[in-house]
Structure 1
Amino acid sequence: MRLEIVIVVAALGLAGCATSPEPTWVKRGATEADYRQDDSWCRREATETETRGTVGIGAGRLALNQELYLACMRGRGWTRRQ
C-alpha cells in the first residue's frame, strides 16, 4: 500500500513538471486581433520558407520552422514571456 502511494505521488509530481504554461507574446499597444494577424502571418511565412529550402528531414525542419517563426514575431515587435 505504501509503495502504491509513493508511485502515485511521484507520477503526479512528474505530470506537474511536464505541463508548463504556454509562453505569452506581448507588444505594447497591440490588441488580440494584432496578435492573431501577426501570429498567422509568421506561421505561414515560417512554413513556406521551411518547405522551399533543402534543409533536411525530421526534427531539423521543425527546429528551423520554430526559429523562423520566433524571428518573424520578434521582427514584428513582439516579445515572448514565459
Structure 2
Amino acid sequence: MLALQKYLREAIGWAGALFSLSAFSLNSLNVISSQSMEYLLMNVIGCFFLILYAVHKKAHASWVLNSIWLLITAVALVKVFLA
C-alpha cells in the first residue's frame, strides 16, 4: 500500500509537470492562445497537481509559486467566463 501511494504521488507530480509544460509549449508555438480555455484549464490542472506534490515533498517555494500561478490563472479564467 505504501509503495502504491509513493508511485501515485510521483505520478501526480509528473502529470502536473506535463500539463504545465504542454500548456506553455502549445502557447509558445502559437497552437493555443494564452487566453484560451484550453491553456487556462491546463494551467489550473498542472498547478493543482504540482501543489499537491510540492506540499507532500515539503517544497515550500514550489507550492507557494504554483499557488500564486494558480490564483492568477483562476482570475484569468473568470475573466474569460465573464466575457
Scaled to the shorter chain, the TM-score interval is 0.3 to 0.5
* Normalised TM-score (structure 1): 0.36
Q: Which has the higher contact order (CA 8 A, sep 6+)?
A: 1
* Normalised TM-score (structure 2): 0.36
Q: Which has the higher strand share?
A: 1
The structure number with the bigger radius of gyration is 1
